Amino acid sequence: MEITGLINEVREQVKEWRRQGLTVGLVPTMGYLHEGHKSLIDRAVTENDKVVVSDFVNPIQFGANEDLATYPRDIEADKRLCEQAGADLIFHPEAEEMYAPDFSTYVEMQKVSEGLCGKTRPTHFRGVCTVVCKLFHIVMPDKAYFGQKDAQQLAVIRRMVRDLDMDIEIVGCPIIREEDGLAKSSRNTYLSEEERKAALVLSKAVFHGEDRMKKGERDADTVLTAMKELIETEPLAKIDYVEMVNADSMEPLAKAEGRVLVAMAVYIGTTRLIDNFIMEV
């Protein structure tokens, strides 16, 4: 496995693979890799001849008061995980390699990116779309892998690819959880022991909402109220949002119908965590 921070080296390698007629999969990440990321890499390895993992804490997707400076990083551990998973190349650029000092072109999306996380993080998806678009141009993959953990991100990327005619297949992968239910996240490392216990309230609410819907409940208000009440029993938790939306358009639903996403963001202390479930109704 190779690692490079240079765009040109990635291009040269991918060109060489292309000359050999090989297919290429891309797994975009911000590093500090865990089993959730590994599930994406594993899937990519089974479906492509060569796999590129990008490992880049993208500054432009962080708001001014967010955790860019403290976001966890461990490139040596990431290398080991990628190597074991069978990835072929890690792209690990410095911010300067990705963004020229006079960088001035962004991919901006309406609607799909505006609700849910887009409300609290108004410039987040502009940063995500821009960096993913750049990564797609650098790697030119056949397929790219994203987790349903970030369900709105997955919907936003699918919409960008459709709207801008990018010839890349987007593969969505299920949420990987800790044994006790907490969705794996690089940000879980911020949690104190007490907060880690409190954070279980997210997955408990997800499972509870899912259960209510499996038993036939279709009214959004009923499902969401039950989930919110459960979250509010945890003193360390503060709800950012709990919503039911169409899983593709992110438009709010009053009644569950079609592909439904029930998504939440909850602060545990100062750490903002997300979780969700998708159900076909």
Tell me which residues touch ligand AMP (CB under 6 A): 29-30, 36-37, 39-40, 146-147, 149-150, 173, 175-176, 183-186
Q: Which is nearer to ligand AMP, 147 or 209 (CB)?
A: 147
Nearer to ligand AMP (CB atom), residue 127 or residue 256: 127
- List, in order, residues 6 or more apart from 115 with CB less than 8 Å away: 152, 243, 245, 250, 251, 252
How many other CB atoms are there within 10 angstroms of residue 210's CB atom? 17
Q: Counting every residue, how long is the chain?
A: 281
Of 35 and 211, which CB lies nearer to ligand AMP in the complex structure? 35
Select 13 or 276, whichever has its Cβ closest to ligand AMP. 276
Degrees (nearest 5) of the Cα angle 67, 145, 264?
50
Nearest distance, CB of residue 246 and ligand AMP, angstroms: 19
Q: How far is the CB of 58 from ligand AMP (least distance, A)?
A: 8
137 catalytically annotated: no
Residues 156 and 109 sit within 8 Å (Cβ to Cβ): yes
Residue number with CB closer to ligand AMP (175 or 256): 175
Residue nearest to ligand AMP (CB): 147
Least distance from ligand AMP to the Cβ atom of residue 279, Å: 17
Q: How far is the CB of 21 from ligand AMP (least distance, A)?
A: 28
How far apart are CB 126 and ligand AMP at their closest, in Å? Answer: 15
Tokens of 96: 């300067």
Query: Other C-beta atoms within 10 Å of 4: how many?
Result: 16
Instruction: Answer yes or no: are the C-beta atoms of 89 and 52 closer than 8 Å.
Output: yes
Instruction: For residue 182, give the DSSP letter.
Output: P
Active-site residue, from 34, 37, 92, 124: 37
- Single-letter amino acid code for the residue at 196: R
How many Cβ atoms from other residues are within 10 Å of residue 148's Cβ? 19
CB 90 within 8 A of CB 1: yes
Using N-to-C axis directions, what is the helix angle for 220-232 and 200-214, rounded to 10°?
A: 150
Active-site residues, by number, are 37
